[in-house]
Structure 1
Amino acid sequence: MDPSPASSLHLRPIRLEDAAEVAVLSGDLGYERTPDEIQAWIDRLTAMNAIAAANPGVVPAQAVIVACEGVSSTAKVVGWIEVSMMRHLQYPDTALIGGLVVSATQRSQGTGRALCRAAEDWAREQGVSGVRVTSRSTRERAHQFYLRDGYARVKTSEVFEKNLD
């Protein structure tokens, strides 16, 4: 991945060894996940993407890109973005940013913008021309970030969920 405008920032695909730092950042986003849960998720993502790579014409369904302070193997993860393909009957294929978080020490330094660019590049590689992001109504700072970054507010929705346990 291309480096961001911040000279010490390095973007790359998520790795198993990132699980602990990614779990902390997920908590910052409001979603508590253990490092073991993150590792299991990365294993599933790796398996799904291996299947896609082995089958011509199959598009990877999802990617996670992390931002690290530097390129060493011990570089600290300071942000991540998750992007996936949305395929629905009623509208063209689109990429969806499912999560974006940057550590408090890195905010307003270009890390979020660099992660968005990486997600947008991934979307283009998958052959889609649009990226969608949803954001909780209370996250006004995030809304302002996306608007500054060229995203447009296109609708307001309610989210309903049903527990199947």
Structure 2
Amino acid sequence: MGDLEIRRVVAEDVPAIVGMLADDPLGAQRESPDDLTPYMAALDRVSSAPNQHLMVAVRDGSVIGTLQLTIIPGLSRKGTTRSIIEAVRIHADERGSGLGTQLIQWAIDESRRQGCALVQLTSDTSRTEAHRFYERLGFEASHVGFKLHL
């Protein structure tokens, strides 16, 4: 097995990322791998935003994982900067390999480097295995999340 590289997403990575986003019961309902147009437009928006870090994990030339890290400066908690980890996906062939831990550790390390005092994430209530994974990494289920679809 080759070395793991964690780097920013480029356009050529988008099909593999969308494939991973769609590869579960929730993603299958909300993603459209057959039309990459909206994903490419989103990549342009994310890439031009300085506090956004859309990353992929690559091994032997293949995209095998992804996540998005957002850095948010704020006034609360005495002006604390926090980060949010979103859209964590690991290729089905890599689940259980430790790759998820490596990606989350990258996000935590980058958050520290960016001066964050808090890292937060959300996970759909149906993803109980993911919840256990995040708890093993030290995350606490401390809040209740709410969403309003527009």
Q: So what's the TM-score if we normalise by structure 1?
A: 0.77
**Alignment partner of 1:151 is 2:139:** yes
**Can you list the C-alpha shifts for 1:42-68, whole angstroms capped at 9, x where unaligned?**
2222222xxxxxxxxxxx311011111
Residue 129 of structure 2 aligns with which residue?
141
CA gap of 1:68–1:140, structure 2 versus 1, over 3 A, is same
Q: Is the 8 A contact 1:65 1:119 kept in 2?
A: no
Within 5 Å, give how 1:111-122 maps onto structure 2.
111-122=99-110
Residue 81 of structure 1 aligns with which residue?
67
Residue 68 of structure 1 aligns with which residue?
58
Residue 45 of structure 1 aligns with which residue?
46
Count how many residue pairs are aligned between Structure 1 and Structure 2. Answer: 142
Residue 161 of structure 1 aligns with which residue?
148
Q: Could you tell me how far 1:136 is from its partner in structure 2?
A: 0.8
SS in 1 for 2:124: coil
Unpaired runs of 5+ residues, structure 1, are 1-5, 49-59
- Let me know the Cα RMSD of the aligned residues: 1.9
Q: Taking every aligned residue pair, what percent have the same amino acid on both sides?
A: 27
Q: So what's the TM-score if we normalise by structure 2?
A: 0.84
Q: Could you tell me how far 1:27 is from its partner in structure 2?
A: 1.1
Within 5 Å, give how 1:3-82 maps onto structure 2.
7-28=2-23, 30=27, 31-33=30-32, 34-48=35-49, 60-70=50-60, 75-82=61-68
Q: Could you tell me how far 1:145 is from its partner in structure 2?
A: 0.5
SS in 2 for 1:83: strand
Q: Is the 8 A contact 1:65 1:118 kept in 2?
A: no
